A = this chain, B = another copy of it.
Amino acid sequence: MKIAVDAMGGDHAPAEIIKGSIRAANKFTEITIILVGSREKIMECIPGTGLPPNMEIVEAGEMIEMDEHPAAAVRNKKDSSIVVGTRLVHEGKAGAIVGAGSTGAQMAAALFGLGRIKGISRPGIATIIPTLHRGKLLVDVGANPDAKPENLLQFAMMASIYSELVLGIEKPRVALLNIGSEEGKGNELVKEAYELLKKSSLNFVGNIEGRDIPAGNADVIVCDAFVGNIVLKTMEGLASSFAKLLKEKLTANALRKAGALLVKPGLKEFAQDLDYSQYGGAPLLGVNGTSIICHGSSDETAIFHAIRVAKECIERGIIEKIAMEVEKFGQINHDKT
């Protein structure tokens, strides 16, 4: 099994990307990791001991910057690391691509390079968010707003399969993110999506409100990308603001500093429980190949886990299962109507 990694994408690329890749290569000796990017820049980050035997480099001279228009950049920069890496997947030379660069570009590269799974009208990004009861999936957090009810249904179906096969949750509870728990609440989009989800064969548990997300009351939380993106970033922003404020308060005087020293292991555990990096990347669901999207700020640990997630997606045949289910699913929904 080979996994391609975009060595050039991300706030801490290429150093942290390469560190994470080396860690994964050493841990999962049965896989080969292909670093995609400028060979010269990659070699500068390789330790004196050299690359592990199960790592390769594929040259890609260009890279897509964060502020470029994703679709245009993907079309114009055919030699960019994310386009080349995605091409490896399309050509069967790699089983998955992992990237931490521009999310839009990675999505565009996958759409153009891999295409959609038959029957899927729009791919979605499912990200894992930390809650009081393990990490849960929030889908869609992508860059395509103005979703249709059918899109939300398909996001739910795909994320449910992912939750079951990769996260090991039996009969994942699927909930619709809404402004009230009762049926009939919300905007036009979610009202129609509610009806579709209710009729589906998914384990749909109804609406949940924002305050239920961190409580972990659902395994798959479905929403439009506009809402999902804002919720995700609000949670990240709040976590970082809390951390900043807490640190300020706990080090305001000598007494508190002494106390902070005693509770330090607790604070560390607290931070670890809320740490995004342990969950690895977010799968781009619905494209015809495995593409794992990492946070721009990904460090060694995040990349390591993203590669682990990519490996599990391949091993457990996520793409095939989605393709199979979307066919069966269409059939079921067709029967019901």
Q: CB distance B249 to A256 under 8 Å?
A: no
Residues of chain B lying within 8 A (CB to CB) of residue A249: 263, 266-267, 269-270, 273
Q: From A264, which residue of chain B is reached at the shortest CB distance?
A: B259
Q: CB distance B226 to A213 under 8 Å?
A: no
CA–CA, A182 and B69, complex, Å? 11
Q: Mark A238-278, 1 if CB is under 8 A from B, else 0.
A: 11111011100110100110111111111101100110000
**10 A-B pairs in the complex with CB atoms less than 8 angstroms apart:** A145-B187, A209-B229, A210-B232, A210-B237, A211-B240, A213-B237, A214-B241, A215-B237, A227-B230, A258-B259
Q: Contact check: which of B145, B214, B261, B274 meets A179 at CB < 8 Å? A: B145
Q: CB distance B226 to A214 under 8 Å?
A: no
| Distance (whole angstroms) from the CB of A57 to the closest CB of chain B | 32
| Distance (whole angstroms) from the CB of A7 to the closest CB of chain B | 25
| Distance (whole angstroms) from the CB of A104 to the closest CB of chain B | 9
CA–CA, A215 and B211, complex, Å? 20
Q: CB distance B179 to A229 under 8 Å?
A: yes
Q: CB distance B241 to A238 under 8 Å?
A: no
A233 at the interface (CB under 8 A from B): yes
Q: CB distance A255 to B245 under 8 Å?
A: no
CA–CA, A180 and B230, complex, Å? 9
Known: A146-B187, A179-B145. Contact between A262 and B255, CB under 8 A? yes
Known: A263-B250, A263-B263. Contact between A211 and B236, CB under 8 A? yes
A121 at the interface (CB under 8 A from B): no
A13 at the interface (CB under 8 A from B): no
| Chain A contact patch, size range | 35 or more
Q: CB distance A246 to B230 under 8 Å?
A: no
Q: Which has the most chain B C-beta neighbours within 10 Å: A131, A210, A227?
A: A210
A186 at the interface (CB under 8 A from B): yes
A196 at the interface (CB under 8 A from B): no
CA–CA, A66 and B317, complex, Å? 47
Q: Mark A174-216, 1 if CB is under 8 A from B, else 0.
A: 0001111010001110100000000000000000011111110
| Distance (whole angstroms) from the CB of A139 to the closest CB of chain B | 15
Q: CB distance A211 to B226 under 8 Å?
A: no
| Distance (whole angstroms) from the CB of A265 to the closest CB of chain B | 7
Q: 4 closest pairs, A vs B, by CB? A: A259-B262, A210-B233, A211-B237, A145-B187
Q: Which has the most chain B C-beta neighbours within 10 Å: A230, A232, A245, A264?
A: A230
Q: Contact check: which of B214, B226, B246, B269 meets A186 at CB < 8 Å? A: B226
Q: From A226, which residue of chain B is reached at the shortest CB distance?
A: B187
CA–CA, A262 and B259, complex, Å? 5
Q: Mark A86-124, 1 if CB is under 8 A from B, else 0.
A: 000000000000000000000000000000000000000
Known: A177-B230, A260-B259. Contact between A238 and B237, CB under 8 A? no
| Distance (whole angstroms) from the CB of A102 to the closest CB of chain B | 11
Q: Contact check: which of B227, B241, B260 meets A263 at CB < 8 Å? A: B260
